[in-house]
A and B are shown apart, each in its own frame.
Chain A
Amino acid sequence: GENVEQHPSTLSVQEGDSAVIKCTYSDSASNYFPWYKQELGKRPQLIIDIRSNVGEKKDQRIAVTLNKTAKHFSLHITETQPEDSAVYFCAARFILDMRFGAGTRLTVKP
Chain B
Amino acid sequence: KAGVTQTPRYLIKTRGQQVTLSCSPISGHRSVSWYQQTPGQGLQFLFEYFSETQRNKGNFPGRFSGRQFSNSRSEMNVSTLELGDSALYLCASSLADFSYNEQFFGPGTRLTVL
Number of B positions contacting A (CB below 8 A): 21
Q: Tell whether, in the assembled complex, residue B105 and residue A32 are in contact, meaning their CB atoms are under 8 Å apart.
A: no
Q: List B residues 24-40 near A (Cβ within 8 Å).
A: 33
- Min CB gap B20→A, angstroms: 20
Query: When each residue 78-114 of chain B gets 1 if its CB lies under 8 Å from chain A and 0 otherwise, what string results?
Result: 0000000000001000000011101111111000000
The dominant DSSP class at the A interface is: strand
The yes or no answer to A73 lying at the interface (CB within 8 A) is: no
Instruction: Look across to chain B and name the residue whose beta carbon is closest to the beta carbon of A1.
Output: B59
Complex interface: chain B residues within 8 A of A98 (CB): 33, 45, 98
Q: Tell whether, in the assembled complex, residue B102 and residue A100 are in contact, meaning their CB atoms are under 8 Å apart.
A: no
- Min CB gap A43→B, angstroms: 4
- A36–B100 Cα gap in the complex (Å)? 15
Q: List B residues 50-98 near A (Cβ within 8 Å).
A: 56-59, 90, 98
- Min CB gap A91→B, angstroms: 8
Among A43, A99, A102, the one with the most B-chain Cβ atoms within 10 Å of its Cβ is A43
Q: Tell whether, in the assembled complex, residue A46 and residue B103 are in contact, meaning their CB atoms are under 8 Å apart.
A: yes
The yes or no answer to A59 lying at the interface (CB within 8 A) is: no
- Residue numbers of B with Cβ under 8 A of A are 33, 42-45, 48, 56-59, 90, 98-100, 102-108
Known: A32-B99, A103-B42. 10 other contacts (CB 8 A): A43-B106, A51-B99, A89-B42, A93-B98, A96-B57, A97-B57, A98-B45, A100-B42, A100-B43, A101-B42
